[in-house]
């Protein structure tokens, strides 16, 4: 619609809040139905947590209204973690299972947290597997949470064939462990393209020690596996 408007000089598009990325003309989801779908998921999955990082170009207040309309407001984690984030178990027990961050970090709604004051991340523009690194990118070294960006950039469209390679168990696990060692922090988020392609969930379970007998874990590993991760 934006391209059309530039050509014909008439703005006939429907205005509203949409989730999209990069080229919104190629596809966008209205925010409210998407948030309601998340709420329905959380109601039927009481042990699940959703972390949302919004690349925002709207006001924090307008975005907050949509969360209210969707019925998500009472599930949002609103406390200030200060020195340490809660564990996943604590978030579940408190039923505050939605954490929302914005890339702009604009003030106005306290629970819309500046993403890169909380997160530190790896670079995100890799054009071949040899370029993968764990060095600090947005958020520097100061963020309490670690995000690993893990995909091959083929803008404007990602390729499932690349995801099949980099999301494979041995490759993805090796990079996650490398970044955990270099950054001295268990990854909290692993961002991939085509999450159903490859072995993302098996890798996450391995990092979280899911399925391992408790008595085989060291105390430090037990604590790490329960942090706000994945």
pLDDT band with cut points at 50, 70 and 90 for residue 94:
very high
Q: If you average pLDDT over every residue of the chain, what do you get? A: 88
Task: Give the pLDDT of residue 5.
Answer: 67
Q: How do the domains of the chain map onto residue ranges? A: 15-118, 122-230
d(CA 44, CA 100): 20
Cα separation, 216 vs 212, in Å, equals: 7
* Residue burial 55-64, b: 16+ Cβ < 10 Å; e: rest: ebebebeebb
Alpha helices, DSSP H, located in 70-211: 88-94, 115-118, 160-166, 169-183, 200-207
8 Å CB contact between 27 and 1: no
How much is the pTM? 0.82
Q: What residues have CB less than 8 Å from 217, skipping those under 6 apart?
A: 209, 225
| pLDDT attached to residue 230 | 41
pLDDT per position as a tens digit, 164-180 = 999 999 999 999 999 99
């Amino acid at each position: 619609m934006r391209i059309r408007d530039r050509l014909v000089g008439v703005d006939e598009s429907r205005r509203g809040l949409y989730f999209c990325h990069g080229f919104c003309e190629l596809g966008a989801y209205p925010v409210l139905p998407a948030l309601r779908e998340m709420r329905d998921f959380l109601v039927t999955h009481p042990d699940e947590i959703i972390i949302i990082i919004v690349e925002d170009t709207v006001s924090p207040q307008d975005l907050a209204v949509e969360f209210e309309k969707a019925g998500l407001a009472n599930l949002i984690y609103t406390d200030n973690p200060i020195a340490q984030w809660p564990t996943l178990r604590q978030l579940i027990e408190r039923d505050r299972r939605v954490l929302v961050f914005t890339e702009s970090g604009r003030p106005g709604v306290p629970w819309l947290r500046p993403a890169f004051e909380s997160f530190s991340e790896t670079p995100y523009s890799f054009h071949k597997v040899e370029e993968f690194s764990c060095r600090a990118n947005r958020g520097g070294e100061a963020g309490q949470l670690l995000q690993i960006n893990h995909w091959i950039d083929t803008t404007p469209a990602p390729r499932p064939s690349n995801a099949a390679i980099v999301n494979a168990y041995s490759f993805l696990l090796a990079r996650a462990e490398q970044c955990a060692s270099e950054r001295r922090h268990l990854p909290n988020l692993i961002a991939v393209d085509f999450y159903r392609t490859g072995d993302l969930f098996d890798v996450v379970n391995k990092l979280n020690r899911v399925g391992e007998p408790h008595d085989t874990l060291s105390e430090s590993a037990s604590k790490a596996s329960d942090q706000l991760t994945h």
